[in-house]
């Protein structure tokens, strides 16, 4: 049965969607930020014009060490990344699978701090003024920074958006609304368990894009079912004109291409941090294979998208 968003149809952001996005959604889900002003907004508009999904890459700041992570991040756009998520290492993650948990622990062991994560963004911005950067992680490291100083420094460093998985909509006053007041997109997650009653609450102050979690469970724990994803993305589009990025469990170019038939972007993270891990010495140090392993996989993923 055709759900209207299968591989035979192009269900990415349309001209009509973009008009709704600029003028205000009839569903009352358009965020309070001024649109068409952020790098994230511009990048999704460019992808729409190109008629293809975007590749969102996730790597952990400071994994396996600051300099290697810096070299990886600086190389991602040329390799094919359209947007970049940088993980903020935290000792007690709740949504991360084993690969990303291990990446965070490697980074912390190597001395990564929030200050260094923001420095990584500043270093990237010195070479790239266009590729959007989203910081992803948990509230605790932001809270202890504390919040106001973090938002000021993140904006000054060149961060474009935040994904903070343990900040629910009911706590928007804590971080979401202050972040948007600083001009940062606040990106929320929806999951297969997000029903029609809950979705409007999730969307209320979301901006930039909606991150759809394609599986129930932690990152990298299972492969998504493309047909189920297409149906869920179609349902989400009835409630918002925001771009929809799909992640959790996407590891190969073939999977990414299948998911990209309906998504505006596809997020790949566990596969990249696993490539880092596989390239390290037994004691967790970078080798000459580390950077090429990650950038090579990103190149393969990017080539698949450009053929989608």
Domain boundaries along the sequence of the chain: 15-306
Cβ neighbourhood burial of 64 (10 Å; 0-12, 13-18, 19+): buried
DSSP 170: G
Both tokens assigned to 164 = 């903070």
Both tokens assigned to 189 = 């997650």
State if pTM tops 0.85. yes
Give the residue numbers marked as catalytic: 85, 96
- Write down the pLDDT at residue 222: 56
Determine the Cα–Cα distance for residues 245 and 259; give it in Å rounded to an integer. 10
Determine the Cα–Cα distance for residues 12 and 265; give it in Å rounded to an integer. 9
Is there a contact between 254 and 234 (Cβ–Cβ < 8 Å)? no
- Write down the pLDDT at residue 19: 33
Both tokens assigned to 33 = 């930020």
- Write down the pLDDT at residue 307: 57
108 CB neighbour count, 10 Å cutoff: 16
The domain 15-306 is classified under which CATH number: 3.20.20.140, 3.40.640.10, 3.40.50.10490, 3.20.20.70?
A: 3.20.20.70
- Write down the pLDDT at residue 8: 37
- In the predicted model, residues of the chain with pLDDT beneath 70 are 1-36, 216-224, 307-308
- Write down the pLDDT at residue 2: 36
Residue spans of alpha helices (H) in the chain: 15-23, 39-50, 66-79, 98-109, 114-125, 139-143, 147-157, 176-181, 199-203, 226-237, 253-259, 270-279, 290-306
Q: Which residues pair with 245 in a beta bridge?
A: 211, 265
- Write down the pLDDT at residue 216: 61
- Write down the pLDDT at residue 94: 83
Q: Which residue has the tokens 């989608």?
A: 308
Is there a contact between 177 and 199 (Cβ–Cβ < 8 Å)? no
Helix (H) or strand (E) holding 133: strand 133-137
Determine the Cα–Cα distance for residues 234 and 95; give it in Å rounded to an integer. 25
């Amino acid at each position: 049965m055709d759900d209207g968003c299968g591989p035979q149809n192009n269900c990415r952001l349309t001209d009509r969607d973009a008009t709704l996005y600029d003028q205000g959604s009839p569903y009352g889900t358009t965020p309070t930020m001024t649109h068409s002003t952020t790098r994230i907004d511009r990048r999704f508009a460019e992808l729409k014009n190109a008629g293809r999904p975007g590749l969102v890459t996730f790597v952990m700041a400071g994994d396996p060490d600051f300099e290697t992570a810096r070299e990886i991040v600086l190389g991602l756009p040329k390799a094919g990344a359209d947007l970049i998520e940088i993980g903020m290492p935290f000792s007690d993650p709740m949504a991360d699978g084993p690969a990303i948990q291990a990446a965070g622990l490697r980074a912390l062991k190597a001395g990564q701090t929030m200050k260094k994560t923001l420095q990584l963004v500043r270093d990237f911005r010195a070479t790239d003024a266009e590729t959007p950067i989203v910081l992803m992680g948990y509230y605790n490291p932001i809270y202890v920074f504390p919040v106001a100083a973090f938002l000021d420094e993140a904006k000054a460093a060149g961060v474009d958006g935040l994904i903070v998985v343990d900040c629910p909509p009911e706590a928007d006053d804590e971080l979401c609304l202050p972040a948007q007041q600083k001009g940062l997109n606040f990106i929320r997650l929806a999951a297969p368990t997000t029903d029609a009653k809950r979705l409007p609450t999730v969307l209320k102050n979301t901006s930039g894009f909606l991150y759809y979690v394609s599986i129930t469970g932690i990152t990298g724990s299972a492969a998504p079912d493309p047909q189920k994803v297409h149906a869920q993305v179609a349902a989400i589009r009835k409630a918002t004109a925001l771009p929809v990025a799909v992640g959790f469990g996407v590891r190969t170019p073939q999977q990414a291409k299948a998911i990209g038939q309906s998504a505006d972007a596809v997020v790949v993270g566990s596969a990249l941090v696993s490539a880092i891990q596989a390239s390290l010495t037994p004691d967790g140090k970078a080798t000459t294979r580390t950077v090429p392993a990650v950038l090579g996989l990103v190149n393969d993923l990017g080539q698949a998208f450009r053929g989608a």
